[in-house]
Each structure stands twice: as C-alpha cells, then as structure tokens.
Chain A
Amino acid sequence: MIEVIGIIFIVMGLVFDFLGCLGLVRFPDVYNRLQASTKCVTFGTASILFGTYVMVGFNPTGIKCILALIFVLLTSPTASHALARASYKGGIKLWEKSKCDFYSQKNKV
C-alpha cells in the first residue's frame, strides 16, 4: 500500500517535470518559459522527493529527501526571480502580444 502511494507521487512528479520541459520549448518568451519551468519543475521535483520519502520511510535516506525538498522549495523561486530580473535589465523584450508592462515605467525614472 505504502509503495503504491509513493509510486503515485513519483509518477505525478514525472508528469509535471515533463510538462514543465515541454512548456520551456513551446512558450514564446523568457518570462513565460520561466513560469512553466519554475512552477512545474519545482513541484514535480518536490513530488518525486516526497514519493521517495514515503517509500523508504522515516530513516536517514528519507530525512535527506525531506531536507532536499525544503531546499528546492526555497531556492528555486529565488533563482527564477534572479533570472527574470537579470533578463529584463539585460534588455530582453517581452513577447509582442503582451498586454502591459509597468516595470518599464520604474526603469525610466
């Protein structure tokens, strides 16, 4: 039973990871690609780690899984934030069909 629950989490994580990578190819500009890769890959990886924890149980290996999960959840959004900011400052334009850009006002002043 525990094995089945663990495998369900791992398969869900793999599906999300795959969709995140597919979004990286399909979406039009840097910012949309960051959205897809950050959300899906973070949650997918967290899900795989949690599935591993469920399968091996509360022992040194499982605890390391939980620690890795916390670090992924904390650092991955920060990294994507830094990438988005750096690409904007580096002069990469938004997709031409984008609706609004309030950030340009701040950079002008």
Chain B
Amino acid sequence: MKSRTILLILGFIVWLLLTGSLDWQHLIIGLIVSGFVAYLTGELFTQRPNLFFHPQRYFWFLYYIPLFLWECFKSNIDVALRVIHPNKPLNPGIVKVETTLRNDTALTFLANSITLTPGTLTVDIDKEKGCLYIHWIDVKTTDVEKATEMIVKRFERILKKIFE
C-alpha cells in the first residue's frame, strides 16, 4: 500500500511537470491517471518503501549525480577518440566482476552507471552469485578482483549508501 501511495505521488508530480498548468480539469485527470497506474503497477515499484523516508539517501543521490555526469563525459571523450583514431585501438573482451549489492534497484543503477562510463557495457547480471559480466572495450586485466576494483568500486560505495 505504501509503495502504491509513493508511486501515486511521483506519477502526479510528473503529470504536473508535463502539463504545466494548475487548472482543476487537468488536476482531476492527472489524479485519475496516476491512481490507475499506481493501482496496476504499484507493487512492482519498490519492495522496501521505508527507504523513501531517509533524507540522507537523497543527499548521497545529489552527490552521485555530478560524479556520474563527469564519468559519463570522460567516457564519451574516450570512445570518441577511439572512433576517430585511424588504427582503431580496440582490445575488447568480456570480463567478470563481483558486487556486494543485492537490491534490485541498486543493481539496475549500478549496471546503468557501468554502461555509461569509460569503455564498459553490462552484458548480464547474475543476481544470486552477485556478479556482473561486462564487455570492456580496452581490457586492462582479466583478474576478477582487479577488474572489480577498477570498474565497480567507485559507484558501489555510494550506491550502497543510497539503496541498501
């Protein structure tokens, strides 16, 4: 029930941002639509709704956004240089890394962050064993622990504070 209420509020906020008007007709339609969506998919949205009431998680999330954007920008420069380099300096392979995160949302964010940061693309997640298979455009090491250190650690630390 809590999960549905949170989804209802979030959906209504997105509706307000999309329509950009406070007319009562828009508000009623928005309430009906977000209520319907929350009724259908509310249980899937989050398993632990209490996490939404911890303010320190939002501060860590605010810290995470600029870090993520900076890594994203570096990765773009890196890939763009590889694209225009005449010899195509590629050294690809699929490596395995380990993570201590178990929560679905945290794993999704970790996989998305890895995909958007330098030279790495998540291919598959093994949730039970807690390992990710990652396509690396420039394989520096095939050792599981060293690769974990290089790819996962910088995000895992912060995501643990946000989602676990």
Instruction: Evaluate whether A84 and B123 lie within 8 angstroms (CB atoms) in the complex, with A31-B92, A39-B116 already known.
Output: yes
Report B-chain residues with C-beta under 8 Å of the C-beta of A106.
Answer: 96, 124, 126, 133
**Alpha-carbon separation in the docked complex, A86 to B17 (Å):** 35
The answer to whether B94 and A80 have CB atoms under 8 Å apart is no
A39-B116, A94-B94, A99-B92 known; A19 vs B83 contact (CB < 8 Å) = yes
Of all chain B residues, the one with the shortest Cβ separation from A64 is B18
Among B29-37, B73-81, B151-159, which stretch is in contact with chain A? B73-81
Q: How far is the CA of A43 from the CA of B83 in the complex (A)?
A: 15
Q: What 1/0 mask marks residues of chain A from 65 to 83 whose CB sits below 8 Å from any chain B CB? A: 0010000011001101100
Interface size on B, residues (CB 8 A): 38
Bitwise, B1-38 to A at CB < 8 A (1) or not (0) is 00000000000001001111000000000000000000
Q: Which of B84, B90, B133 is in CB contact (< 8 Å) with A102?
A: B133
Given contacts A23-B83, A32-B137, A103-B133, contact A39 B76 (CB under 8 A): yes
Q: Considering the complex of A and B, which 7 residue pairs feature the smallest CB-CB distances, nearest first?
A: A60-B20, A77-B115, A99-B93, A23-B83, A102-B96, A100-B93, A77-B112
Residues of A within 8 A of B (CB): 15-16, 19-20, 22-23, 26-29, 31-32, 34-36, 38-40, 42-44, 59-60, 63-64, 67, 73-74, 77-78, 80-81, 84-85, 88, 94-95, 97-104, 106
Q: Knowing that A35-B79, A39-B75, A102-B96 touch, tell me 12 more A-B residue pairs with CB under 8 angstroms.
A: A16-B80, A32-B92, A32-B137, A39-B72, A39-B115, A40-B79, A43-B73, A44-B76, A84-B121, A94-B94, A99-B92, A103-B94
